[in-house]
Amino acid sequence: MGELRGTHVPVLLERCLELLDPALRLPGAVHVDFTLGLGGHAEAVLERYPDVVLVGLDRDTEALAHSRHRLARFGERVKLVHAVYDELPRVLGELDLAGFHSGLFDLGVSSLQLDEADRGFAYAQDAPLDMRMDQTSGITAEQVVNEYEPGELVRILRQYGEEKFAQRVVSSIVRERQRGRITSTARLSELVKESIPAAARRTGGNPAKRTFQALRIEVNGELATLEAAVPEALDALAPKGRLVVMSYQSLEDRIVKRALTARSRSTGPVDLPVELPGTGPTLRLLTRGSEPPSEQEVAANPRAASVKLRAVERIDQATPGAARERPRLTTTHGGQGRLRPGEREEGEGKA
């Protein structure tokens, strides 16, 4: 196992631990790291909470190898599994666990995948067009770029990359692949840059960023996997358990937001004075909307610049079948209504 290039700095480490702390202190606490990566967050949990058992998931076998080496000193407290995060039910079953108490999703591309040029994730470095998080299976970005129908490529760039010039980019790709197969990240990056008007290239960073994001999401099926994974995680979360999710682009955050807010609201009739059994919220939102990183965090770790953090706690349902009085609207010092934990809101709040 070679040495890693670059420095791995876990994103929002202290804030994550602050939010997860009450759950990590529960008796027999099990912490699930759904996106283990190089194990920075996991290592901090194991060091600070000596009774916690870690279940670490990652689809990237290279990342698992590095984390296995890094976390070896914690012995039997560490259970690392080669799995995608929507495979949690299978993993818990194989480990004979009924659920978990603390969980963390750190979505997007890991430091390993970005820093190792030959993985093909970075548009600033030349490499084969791969982009698979799990290099043992699945299609590559090269196959997508060279073999997908033009209309499907346009859809992917628009939907997953939010690329305004998707049609122009795809036209360039199609012309190029008629001359010969596109096999390198550098060539694809050049094609994208040439396709986007000069005025649009002056802002927003590297013009290839959105196309590379879209291809990565398609290759790894990221959004469909996330749509399945978050509800599965919430179903397995123990009472008083907590879950933190960090997203790095709006499509991910939208999926997470929908899943969390849906369970933080009552599903019963709004005009009843009590909550009917089974209709109350099952989650308490711990963040108001999504939390951005602080200026200090971004200065210390530039990769945190686009992160959006959301956190929830599983409500400990008291007596099953008992009707509960609805929470009432309280007021802040400024006289504005403020919802108590678990009370349903009007609208979804800020993104």
Residue 327 has pLDDT above 50, yes or no: no
pLDDT at residue 350, as a whole number: 36
Which pLDDT band, with edges at 50, 70 and 90, does 303 fall under?
confident
Same domain for 282 and 140? no
Query: Residue 200: which CATH number?
Result: 1.10.150.170
Same domain for 204 and 232? no
pLDDT digits (tens, 9 = 90+) for 227-272: 999 999 999 999 999 999 999 989 999 999 999 999 998 766 666 6
The string over 90-129, giving b where at least 16 C-beta atoms fall within 10 Å of a residue's C-beta and e elsewhere, is: ebbeeeebebbbbbbbbbbbbbbbbbbeebbbbbebebeb
pLDDT at residue 1, as a whole number: 45
Last residue of a domain, one of 202, 219, 236: 219
The answer to whether 41 is a known ligand-binding residue is yes
Which pLDDT band, with edges at 50, 70 and 90, does 43 fall under?
very high
pLDDT at residue 158, as a whole number: 95
The answer to whether 66 is a known ligand-binding residue is no
Higher pLDDT, 123 or 186: 186
In a domain, 124, yes or no: no
Same domain for 194 and 229? no
Same domain for 194 and 49? no
For residue 215, give its domain range.
Answer: 136-219
The answer to whether 99 is a known ligand-binding residue is no
The answer to whether 126 is a known ligand-binding residue is no
Query: Residue 18: which CATH number?
Result: 3.40.50.150
In a domain, 35, yes or no: yes
Nearest to 169 by CA among 186, 192, 201, 153: 192
How many structural domains does the chain have? 2
33: β partners = 56, 104
pLDDT digits (tens, 9 = 90+) for 71-83: 999 999 999 999 9
Higher pLDDT, 324 or 83: 83
Residue 278 has pLDDT above 70, yes or no: no
Same domain for 204 and 228? no
Residue 338 has pLDDT above 50, yes or no: no
Higher pLDDT, 177 or 303: 177
The answer to whether 49 is a known ligand-binding residue is no
The answer to whether 82 is a known ligand-binding residue is no
The answer to whether 118 is a known ligand-binding residue is no
pLDDT at residue 280, as a whole number: 75
Same domain for 228 and 186? no
In a domain, 254, yes or no: yes
In a domain, 24, yes or no: yes
In a domain, 161, yes or no: yes
Same domain for 89 and 232? yes
Same domain for 99 and 232? yes
Please identify which residue in the block is written with the tokens 């590297």: 206
Q: What is the mean pLDDT of residues 164-189?
A: 94
Least reliable range by pLDDT among 89-93, 109-113, 144-148, 334-338:
334-338
Same domain for 302 and 227? yes
pLDDT digits (tens, 9 = 90+) for 27-41: 999 999 999 999 999
Same domain for 207 and 228? no
Instruction: Tell me the whole-structure pTM to 2 decimals.
Output: 0.82
Same domain for 157 and 175? yes
Alpha carbon 149 to its chain's center: 29
